[in-house]
Structure 1
């Protein structure tokens, strides 16, 4: 697929650099660019995000993404935006020293604590330019899948009544929205802690960002990273301090919302993305998690605890 036109970026104009691919990215390609020449301002160390595919199918607003990335930097949760070129589908952000987390890293209580702290930092910061509602997004994604004839797992529609019940429970106990990333899988946490375990975790990739229920943020990470029930409780406690049963139940319901909604993202990508990746299986895994919860014994209790406080 080649590389983006880096020579057209103002922040790299007239300079020489070396570039390497960064792993990850299912709707974009990421590049680490470091200048090599002498310059009064010193070397530049940046990440260039090159957007790919049809963003409208997935509900991505690139202008909001750039604006929210900059806002997240103001809160101290994310990297600074250095340049935004929508005409080139490029967003340039500062390079963060550190490493992307993996699912197994959350087994370390200190990593879990730093990740929760990063969430609190983002959520306490300035509001984002737009909102995010997984119920509205799921409806839009489902309409796209059906209108275009994309593959959908047999039985997906069987859960519509239960899905409506989850929506009623969460909306009847509405909480104030806060700026959320909404896509915090492990790779979107950058941990700059050294061998002594100090430092902080940063949050990256704001394609799906918007003001949302903070419990969706926690639930999305919990399911994406395969948290055990004990890890979910520990993560919720690290975020809230002294969570109620309603807090924990709300996060567990939002795990379900993440699974059922984002599974459709996978089925759309399977049909439309130019990236060589098994998006259908990605979506199927999330759907099967959601279906297990819809059919399982815990859903009525979770609904009751969210509505009545447990």
Structure 2
């Protein structure tokens, strides 16, 4: 369906003069900024139903509303699953880049935005990268999609990491779970967090470790981010975030494998994107420090 036809079927936007601008980014949606006399909106049109990628569109809608109530996400104006459309308010500001996250001055701001989201209303589902990764792996194997060389060799290490983290019951909070730089907006004051496709209640340290992982930040930046989030230097929390950041790389690698095999509607080199993450994960799996990090995550400071 052509974009003008989709917009005409959205009651909020139909029958109004409007301008439409396609927004960059978005690997599972096509995003458009629509300006009308009544306001500015972002129309997110699904590139797929998301089922293979463990995206629950109803949960995305509900969690987007919760994030808006927390004062972090964009206001939600319409949800039309029959059209594959979610309409949210356009948030003025600029999108973060990796360079922004490499500036230590921004790390306390990111931590503050995460704390606001995490203190907000509970989400309607949970997110556990260990379970998501296992689900992705089953899909890749069942459908014969490409699997990176020696990927399965690291599953025993993953089991050890999971067992290590389970020694502490840290509870869960509502997390975005996908804070790559493009999902962080700077309005000149506070930061806002967008895109709740993978949102769910999760360990806060996954959120922090995922920020570190997605932007390939130095280890010192992870320490600063975790310290800013908790208000003090906690070695076991830093280690926990580091392990979950590793799981982020390892798990999202298979997301890329699925996209590479199944998604023909978006022109993007998913395989190379995923392999970059995988190569960084391999470096950590095969390095000499993994056992020490697990030891620090399991014990009190």
TM-score, length-scaled by structure 1: 0.94
CA distance in 2, matches of 1:72, 1:28: 19
C-alpha deviation, 1:107, in angstroms? 2.8
* 3-state SS in 2 of match to 1:172: coil
For residue 9 of structure 1, what is the aligned residue in structure 2?
A: 10
For residue 212 of structure 1, what is the aligned residue in structure 2?
A: 202
C-alpha deviation, 1:54, in angstroms? 4.1
Q: Is the 2:49–2:84 contact (alpha carbons within 8 Å) kept by the matching residues of 1?
A: no
- Please show how residues 115-126 of structure 1 align to structure 2 within 5 Å: 115-126=110-121
CA distance in 2, matches of 1:54, 1:149: 20
- Please show how residues 102-117 of structure 1 align to structure 2 within 5 Å: 102-117=97-112
Matched, 1:222 2:212: yes
Matched, 1:45 2:40: yes
| Residues 4-13 or 284-293, more deviating | 4-13
C-alpha deviation, 1:255, in angstroms? 0.7
For residue 77 of structure 2, what is the aligned residue in structure 1?
A: 82
* 3-state SS in 1 of match to 2:82: helix
C-alpha deviation, 1:129, in angstroms? 0.4
C-alpha deviation, 1:116, in angstroms? 1.1
C-alpha deviation, 1:2, in angstroms? 4.5
Residue 20 to residue 97, structure 1, CA distance change in 2 (3 Å): same
For residue 40 of structure 1, what is the aligned residue in structure 2?
A: none
C-alpha deviation, 1:52, in angstroms? 0.8
Which among 270, 279, 282 is matched to residue 288 of structure 1?
A: 279
- Please show how residues 185-264 of structure 1 align to structure 2 within 5 Å: 185-193=180-188, 199-264=189-254
CA distance in 2, matches of 1:106, 1:13: 39
* 3-state SS in 2 of match to 1:16: coil
C-alpha deviation, 1:28, in angstroms? 0.3
For residue 91 of structure 2, what is the aligned residue in structure 1?
A: 96
Stretches of structure 1 that go unaligned for 5 or more consecutive residues are: 37-42, 194-198
Stretches of structure 2 that go unaligned for 5 or more consecutive residues are: none
CA distance in 2, matches of 1:305, 1:214: 17
| Residues 156-165 or 52-61, more deviating | 52-61
Q: How many matched pairs?
A: 299
Q: Is the 1:61–1:207 contact (alpha carbons within 8 Å) kept by the matching residues of 2?
A: yes
For residue 34 of structure 1, what is the aligned residue in structure 2?
A: 35
Matched, 1:303 2:299: no
CA distance in 2, matches of 1:292, 1:157: 15
C-alpha deviation, 1:11, in angstroms? 1.0
* 3-state SS in 2 of match to 1:263: helix
Q: Is the 1:77–1:118 contact (alpha carbons within 8 Å) kept by the matching residues of 2?
A: yes
* 3-state SS in 1 of match to 2:15: coil
Which aligned runs of 4 or more in structure 1 are off by greater than 4 angstroms?
A: none
CA distance in 2, matches of 1:104, 1:202: 17
Post-superposition CA distance 1:11-54 (Å, at most 9, x none): 11321100001111000011000014xxxxxx211100011124
Q: Is the 2:227–2:234 contact (alpha carbons within 8 Å) kept by the matching residues of 1?
A: no
For residue 154 of structure 1, what is the aligned residue in structure 2?
A: 149
Post-superposition CA distance 1:244-286 (Å, at most 9, x none): 1101100100111100111100000001112111101111111
C-alpha deviation, 1:296, in angstroms? 0.4
How large is the RMSD of aligned CA atoms in angstroms?
A: 1.2
CA distance in 2, matches of 1:229, 1:160: 24
* 3-state SS in 2 of match to 1:14: coil
C-alpha deviation, 1:243, in angstroms? 2.9
